[in-house]
Chain A
Amino acid sequence: MMTRLQSHPDPIVQVKGLKTYFYTEEGVVPAIDGVDFEVLRGETLAIVGESGSGKSVTSLSIMRLIPSPPGKIVEGDITFNGESLLTKTNAQMRQIRGNKISMIFQEPMTSLNPVYRVGDQIAESLKLHQGMKKKQALKEAVRLLELVGIPEAERRVSQYPHELSGGMRQRVMIAIALACNPELLIADEPTTALDVTIQNQILHLMKQLKEKTNTSIILITHDLGVVAEVADRVVVMYAGQVVEQGDVYTIFENPKHPYTIGLLESMPSHKKRTGKLKTIEGVVPNPLHLPPGCRFAPRCEFATDLCRSEVPAVITVGQEETVRCWKYTERWEGNLNEHSAV
């Protein structure tokens, strides 16, 4: 049984057996528990999951921004261009963050400094990482604002964040993230706080930028619509583990893991609107008291005694896909029927 995907020749990021735990007063929370994936050059990898699945902690682990204490990366490795990020000193990490790897967060208002002009905030990383002088950096800031589609960029650089709308602020965040031509952009729910027409603008922009600059993108989201719109490959997380990964077409058209199937079916569809929605009964398990076997077993309609007692390994199916489910192993003795239609 294979446990990992065959490595691509030159991935930009490799996450191997990553475990990030939080040591709280109530006990140890295994927020990420043995996660493997790769990000290829120039691709958009979507990490999907519900709240508490560990998708944001994964991105913070890559950025080495896990608050410690209580959090700690306890096992595994993260490499960026072949070099381990976990052995870097804080000073070395600062050279990488905002320079080679940038991040956009969900709420741009809290990640922009309200007392500095937008232009100065873009110029800051240019001065720091590229050694630009102030005048040159501000000129570059105008160019970046134009790049992300902000009209009247000349005027906007000297405005404060509160003078901009939500969509504009998110564009400014993207401009800051792109300032130093990063090789990897991590976007954590970049459009969740935005209206759908503005979300459409931002997704359109991200697609254009990827084509222009060939930046690799990790897109973290709970919105499968957004995933279908921009992702090349998809990693589905549940309770701190990757349950399935594959290319976007396979995930949407031929999902394997019962959780992925359930997620897709519980969405109100654009195709049919009659009949009841499929639901995944129950709730995400408490991370302090995880079930002993498969973490999805308590909510899974296929679960057998095997699922409830033993943890399934990650297995490779097809060419590029992995799934963490007993159903796809030779030890499976339960119902093999395709997902029952409602």
Chain B
Amino acid sequence: MSIALFEAQKEQETKTDEVLLSVRNVKKYFPVKGGLFDRVLAHVKAVDDVSFDIHRGETLGLVGESGCGKSTIGKTMLRILNASSGTVEFEGRNIFSLSEKDMRGLRRDMQYIFQDPFSSLNPRLSVGESIARVLRIHGMSRKSEREHRVQELLEMVGLSPYHIRRYPHEFSGGQRQRIGIARALALNPKLIVLDEPVSALDVSIQSQIINLLEDLQKQFNLTYLFVSHGLNVVRHISSRVGVMYLGKLVELAETDTLFAKPQHPYTQALLSANPVADPRQRDEKKMVLEGDVPSPINPPSGCRFRTRCPFATQKCAEVEPAFAKVADNHFVACHYPLN
């Protein structure tokens, strides 16, 4: 190996451009059943041919409106849902081809945090038991060891040791989210999918949780996929951001680039609709999108955004735009990117 190549490789490693997880052409269709024999009548194309990479140590934000498939991609990625087609490689292994047993082992490395941890915590188990169970299932057999670890985890997320014996209903929303985070951290994961982790929380509590997530990321070199409809939060926490619309990834770029120079008309509309906490900016002309998101059962031909896009032409109805590179680290699926 030549020295130059070696140097280049070394630089790559320190830049943490290493791909931790890569999603390729993933589709997730949900059958719509009905009729006399419960036939499959149609499919909801929740995620339709989506590809992207997540780099080790980064936070990739995923934004979009309800029904755009952002949560589905998160769940499919961790095989909580089975994909209809496509591949997901985690550290080079295609996780869709793993056996159930191998997958269980791999799940230690990949965790999922839900919007409302209350519905994902067993109400009959104390917080300590909930977390200890995860440890036991994954092979920590000594009880004293488990107890020690649970205490350590609770401290990590800013809860007191006396919370161990309490039950989920005794906690506030912010505290429950901390418990959810503690449980996700229990097995030292590498990747955590955060699905609207702060959307249900009050503003002052939101910032506590966001700071906690950032601290933990630094401490344990975690990689996050941060799924949210809250643009301000995503902008704050993410290094790169992907925008989804109706099952498709329409734009992916570094956070500052995406917010400063969006190239997809939908991204622009989304950013423009985002209320800005400055009353002096209220009269700035906004791009108000007409109409609603079309049905994912029968999405529009060509570009899916064309029915609401102010720049749509005949071509947009006929040819589906490719998800193409327009600049370094900037991908857009549009025939007529802005700028």
Contact = CB atoms under 8 A, between A and B. Distances in A.
Interface in B171-214: 172, 174, 202-208, 210-211, 214
A199 B255 CA distance: 23
A283 B172 CA distance: 9
A283 B232 contact: no
B276 A196 contact: no
Contact of B203 (A199, A224, A252): A224
B292 interface: yes
B253 to A, nearest CB: 15
Nearest to A230: B282
Contacts of A331: none
B292 A198 contact: yes
A131 to B, nearest CB: 35
A279 interface: yes
A273 interface: yes
B280 A249 contact: yes
B277 A273 contact: no
A268 B229 contact: no
Given A199-B273, A277-B236, A263 B204 contact: yes
A146 interface: no
Report the contact-size class of chain B (Cβ under 8 Å from the partner).
35 or more
Interface residues of A, number: 46
B137 interface: no
Contact of A268 (B208, B233, B286, B292): B233
B275 A279 contact: no
B64 to A, nearest CB: 9
Contacts of A270: 232, 235, 274, 276-278
Interface string B150-181: 00000000000000000000001010000000
A50 B203 contact: yes
Contact of A280 (B66, B204, B214, B232): B204
B269 interface: yes
B174 to A, nearest CB: 7
A5 to B, nearest CB: 20
Contact of A196 (B237, B255, B274): B274
A273 B279 CA distance: 20
B327 interface: no
Contact of B274 (A50, A225, A252): A225
Given A268-B210, A279-B211, A280-B204, A225 B275 contact: yes
30 contacts: A50-B203, A166-B66, A197-B270, A198-B65, A199-B273, A200-B273, A201-B288, A201-B289, A222-B202, A224-B277, A225-B232, A228-B275, A228-B276, A228-B277, A228-B281, A228-B282, A263-B203, A263-B204, A264-B277, A266-B203, A266-B207, A267-B207, A268-B207, A268-B210, A268-B232, A270-B235, A276-B214, A277-B207, A277-B211, A278-B207
Interface of A: 50-51, 151, 165-168, 195-201, 203-204, 222-231, 248-249, 252, 262-264, 266-270, 273, 276-281, 283-284
Closest 9 CB pairs of A and B: A225-B275, A268-B236, A200-B273, A195-B65, A266-B207, A50-B202, A277-B207, A280-B204, A268-B232
